[in-house]
Amino acid sequence: MTAFKKILVANRGEIALRVIRACRELAIPCVAVYSDVDRQAVYVAEADEAYRLGPAPASQSYLNVERLLDVAARAGCDAVHPGYGFLAENASFARACAQHGLTFIGPSASAIERMGGKIEARRAAQAAGFPIVPGTVEPVNGVDAVKALGEKFGYPIAVKAAAGGGGKGLKVVHSEADIAHAIQMAAGEASAYFKDATLYVEKYLARPKHIEVQILGDRAGNVVHLGERDCSMQRRHQKLVEETPACIAPAVRDGLYHAAVELARSIGYDSAGTIECLVEGDRFYFLEMNTRIQVEHTVTEMTSGLDLVKAQIRIAAGERLWFTQSDLSSRGHSIECRINAESPLHDFRPCAGTLSVYREPGGPGVRVDAAAATGTVIPQEYDSLIGKLITWGHDRDEARERMSRALREYVIEGVDTTIPFLRLLVAGGAFASGDYATPTVDEFRHQHAGQIAEAYGRAPQESVVLDAEPSILVVEVGDKRFTVRVQGLNGARLSAARRAPKFKAAKKTASDSAAVSAPMHGIVAEIHVSPGDDVADGQVVAVIEAMKMMNEVVAHRAGKVAAIAAKAGETIETGAPLLTFEESV
């Protein structure tokens, strides 16, 4: 039993539900928060209490510190769990919590500042003797500075957000001609997601493995590691599949463990955290540290038997670690696949919409961390993650075979998801052998384009919208959420606004179409051309921000721009024209 009376869960989706479940097991009441588009979300109904934050944009809801602190006070909370993303690595928020008498369930604000900022983290790693990826330990400003670094390190280089994470704010520069655009895109994503456009530069390693070490520390200075995870299966520099243990040499593994624990101990780290590294052959480099619970913490839990979220809560309440390194052991193998609302056929473009069918897999060794159901809305304002599918096996083969079986059982309709792609990815090839690196997903996508297209070529069966359970209504009084039972509503149907749209097979734009259309719903971030400009086939003509990612829109053919149909800052719907070409003579 911990000392906390009530915990505010300052997040949404599957991680909010994960924290709520941990609170339940510790017999601690918990409070959820939600934006307008999350009002009917699964995690909201599962909390003991729930409060509205505001409109859908994160700046007005989940990033609204004043509002979160107000809710915590109104609900009588004495602690806040930030989950991951949003304010989880925000030192100012951690300090604000303390100033309002709230315990921040995570590391100290000073640890967040030292390691949450990527530049400061690289300096700390150097000081602790941890090799870092060649690059800067100071912010970079402007094209000329990046050009000089490209000449120093050789191309490709990576322009990265100092406050970044999850692949957001990371752009690869292959030549001098790419620099200006990469800076603009990286800074734009960093500003949109982290409210911090500071950038730095690293040498971009061609075929590394992305390996991370899970560590756990307490406020008495005790630090242990809980093994490593291989997160090399990535698309758009974001993780797609993770597993533990990694297929790396034992000497590299031991070196990573020692370096990670020493680094965490040197900064007095006092919560769950992850030290991310790149491995090439028998060499490893510090990449960054995530000062929070990680999306893929699940696989470590499956092999270690520890509940990392409950550990965070217990440590924040002042408990010392209740085990030593020698007490820990790893059992079996675990794999996680991220189930995202994305279209692999279109460069993993995010897909907002309503889940018309949602059915999870089960059976031995299968775990699903999600907060979804039939009728759940995947809003365009947030990350595309629907949930996480995790399997465990006595060895890697059993874990992989279980993952293949579970992916076949997992059914989601209403939006494109990564499930069909993942079924192909884990079935064989590089993943089956374990001999893969960060470029493997892109290589697989190009090598198996026909199979992937076939996997996504069949329209899901049109689902029947069943009558909603009529006797339960959700109301808000003073922004606090209440569930009310009302008699006499039998036979009510789901509102038209929440019904899943009928599926329509995607149509390829005709090569002679006179318009370049928006491939997704979002906000027009940039228009790169003007009327009268000559545009080449495949040229980037606009950028749309959707689900906190900057998505480049390319011309499907060459032509001269006749008119621009959209403006930067405007919301645009899927299929709406961005620009039109002059008619061919």
Q: What are phi and psi of 248, to 5 degrees?
A: -135, 165
- Residue-level pLDDT at 427: 94
Q: What is the pLDDT of residues 83-123, one digit of tens each?
A: 999 999 999 999 999 999 999 999 999 999 999 788 989 99
Query: pLDDT band at residue 465, thresholds of 50, 70 and 90?
Result: very low
The CATH fold of domain 134-203:
Dna Ligase; domain 1 (3.30.1490)
Q: Cα–Cα distance between 579 and 475 in angstroms, integer?
A: 43
- Domain boundaries 515-581, corresponding CATH code: 2.40.50.100
What stretch(es) of the chain map to CATH 3.30.1490.20?
Answer: 134-203
Share of the chain above pLDDT 90, in %: 71
Q: What is the pLDDT of residues 522-536, one digit of tens each?
A: 788 889 889 989 888
332: left (phi over 0), alpha (psi -120 to 50) or beta: left
- Domain boundaries 209-455, corresponding CATH code: 3.30.470.20
- Contacts of residue 533, defined as CB under 8 A and 6 or more positions apart, other chains included, come to 560, 561
Q: What is the pLDDT of residues 281-314, one digit of tens each?
A: 999 999 999 999 999 999 999 999 999 999 999 9
Q: Is the pLDDT reported for residue 474 higher than 90?
A: no
Q: Is the pLDDT reported for residue 507 higher than 50?
A: no
Total Cβ atoms within 10 A of residue 206: 10
What stretch(es) of the chain map to CATH 3.30.470.20?
Answer: 209-455
Task: Residue 88: name the closest of 65, 121, 120 by CA.
Answer: 65
Q: Cα–Cα distance between 553 and 561 in angstroms, integer?
A: 15
What stretch(es) of the chain map to CATH 2.40.50.100?
Answer: 515-581
Lowest mean pLDDT among 388-392, 465-469, 515-519: 465-469
* 3-class DSSP string for 129-140: CCCECCECCCCE
Query: pLDDT band at residue 387, thresholds of 50, 70 and 90?
Result: very high
Instruction: Give buried/exposed letters for 487-514 (b at 16+ CB in 10 A, else e).
Output: eeeeeeeeeeeeebeebeeeeeeeeeee
Query: pLDDT band at residue 166, thresholds of 50, 70 and 90?
Result: low
- Residue-level pLDDT at 486: 66
Q: Cα–Cα distance between 333 and 391 in angstroms, integer?
A: 8
Choose the CATH number for 7-105 among 3.30.70.240, 3.10.20.30, 3.40.50.1110, 3.40.50.20: 3.40.50.20
- At 443, the amino acid letter reads E
Strand, coil or helix: 553: strand
- Residue-level pLDDT at 492: 41
Classify residue 14 as exposed, middle or buried by CB count within 10 Å of its CB (0-12, 13-18, 19+).
buried
What stretch(es) of the chain map to CATH 3.40.50.20?
Answer: 7-105
DSSP 344: G
Composition of the chain by helix, strand, coil, percent to 5: 30, 30, 40
Question: pTM for this one?
Answer: 0.83
376: left (phi over 0), alpha (psi -120 to 50) or beta: beta
